[in-house]
A = this chain, B = another copy of it.
Amino acid sequence: MRARQFFISTLKEAPADAEVISQKLMLRAGMIRRLAAGIYTWMPMGLRVLAKVEAIVREEMNRAGALELFMPAVQPAELWAESGRWEKYGPELLRFKDRHDRDFVIGPTHEEVITDVVRREIKSYKQLPRHFYQIQTKFRDEIRPRFGVMRGREFLMKDGYSFHATFEDLQREYAVMYETYTRIFTRLGLKFRAVAADNGAIGGTGSHEFHVLADSGEDVIAYCPTSDYAANVELKEVCHAVAGDPSPDGQGTLELCRGIEVGHIFQLRTQYAEALNCNFINEQGQEQPMEMGCYGIGVTRIVGAAIEQGHDERGIIFPSAMAPFDLVIVPMGWNKSEAVRTTAEKLYGELIRAGIDVILDDRDERPGSMLADWELIGIPHRIVIGDRSLKEGRVEYQHRRDSTATPVNLTDITTLVCQRLGG
C-alpha cells in the first residue's frame, strides 16, 4: 500500500471528551471517528487492525471444529418471551416495533435464535455435538457509553453456541474452548489471564473470563464487569484477575482493577434448551433437553485493550499480529532525491514479494511529522531511507520498541526484516 492512496488522518490532540488512553490514541491515529455516544466509524486504518483480529479468531474457531453461520441482528420478541428475557432484560436491550406494530429487538446476544435454529434442525443424539459461531455487529443501549470501543453501544462480537447430548460432552467442548481462547489471545500477542467467574445474568454454572492485563499507569481501567456479555450486569470489580495483585480485597476498589474482559465462556447447561423446548432423542430413545455452552469474544474491544496494554508517550505499540501494517518505509526527501525514491520503490517491491504487509510513505511531508505519524499508529517495523546514509549503502532500521535506529546495509535489509517478521 502507498500512503497517498491510503487514508491517513492523524490528530495532534485527542478530543476533550476522550477518557482513556486507548480511546485517545485510536482517535489521534485516525483509526476510529465518533458518530454518536458509544458509536464509532472504523476508518480504513482501524479496520485493518479489526480485520486481523477477526481473521485470527475465525481461524482458531474453525480449527476447533466450530462452524460459522450468520444470524440476523433483528430478532422477533416472541423468542425472547419464550426464554423469559423479554421481561428480565433491562433497557440495554434495544426494542422496537416494525411497521406492522410487531415487537422486535436488536440482538445483543443470540442464545434464543440459535436455540430456535437447533430445535428445528437437530432431533437425535447422532447429530450432536454441534458448535455454531458468528462474528457480528451487536448493539447494547448502554446508559453511559464510555472508553471508546471498549464500552461502546455498537460493537463487533464473536459469539459461539455449542449443543451436547451430555454434560460430560459439554465439559469436553468447554475445555476445547478454553484452549482455543488461550491460543487466540496468545497469537494476538496479548498478555492475558483466564479467571473463574460467576455467571451473572446469563444463567447456568461454570464460567471463565479472559482478561487482557493493562497496567497503564495513570490510565487505569476503572471497571471490570463480571459478565460484559450478559444483560443487567453489575459492574463488579474482579480484582483477583489482576496479575501482581496477590491479595485481592473483597471490596475490589476501582484502582486495583487492571484487567479488561475480552472473552467469556459459559456452561449454560439446559436452561435455554428447557425454556425453548430444544430437545433431542437420546440413545435410550427418550426425549431430553440439550446441554449448551456459549462462548463470547469482544472483537472490537480487543483492539482497545491491546492499546491499553501496548503504548508509550509516542503512541500505540501494536503486537505484530494486530498492527495495520507490518512495516513502513519512510523515504526522506522523496521528491528531492532520485536515489532515495528509486531505493524506496525497489525495497517496497522486494518486501511485497516477500509477503510482508508494507506501507510506503510517499507523502513527502516533513520527516519529523512522517515519523511521528507511524509511531503514533504503532507500526512494528520501520525503515528510513535518506540521502546521507544511502551514500554509504545503508538504510536505518528501527523496531517500534527500540529507542534508536540501527544502520543496516541495503543489501541485508530484506533478509533482516524477513527474519524479524518470521520469528
Contacts and interface: CB of A to CB of B under 8 A. Distances in A.
B99 A70 contact: no
A47 B61 CA distance: 15
A16 interface: no
Given A35-B113, A141-B99, A143-B99, A5 B70 contact: no
A27 to B, nearest CB: 12
Interface residues of A, number: 48
Nearest to A40: B72
A91 B99 contact: yes
A281 B104 CA distance: 46
A67 interface: yes
A70 B155 CA distance: 11
A192 interface: no
A132 B116 CA distance: 37
Chain multiplicity (copies): 2
Contacts of A96: 94, 96
Given A33-B117, A75-B35, A154-B74, A42 B67 contact: no
Interface string A34-51: 011001111110010010
Chain B CB count within 10 A is highest, among A36, A47, A68, A121, for A36
A409 interface: no
A136 B137 CA distance: 9
Contacts of A35: 71-72, 75-76, 113, 116
B117 A41 contact: yes
Contacts of A139: 73-74
Interface in A5-19: 5-7, 9
Interface of A: 5-7, 9, 33, 35-36, 39-44, 47, 50, 65, 67-76, 91-92, 94, 96, 98-99, 104, 106, 113, 116-117, 120-121, 130, 132, 136-137, 139, 141, 143, 153-154
Across chains A and B, which 10 residue pairs bring their CB atoms closest together, nearest first? A42-B70, A96-B96, A44-B67, A91-B99, A36-B76, A39-B72, A41-B71, A72-B154, A99-B141, A44-B69
Given A33-B121, A96-B96, 8 more contacts: A7-B130, A7-B132, A35-B76, A39-B74, A42-B69, A43-B117, A91-B99, A99-B141
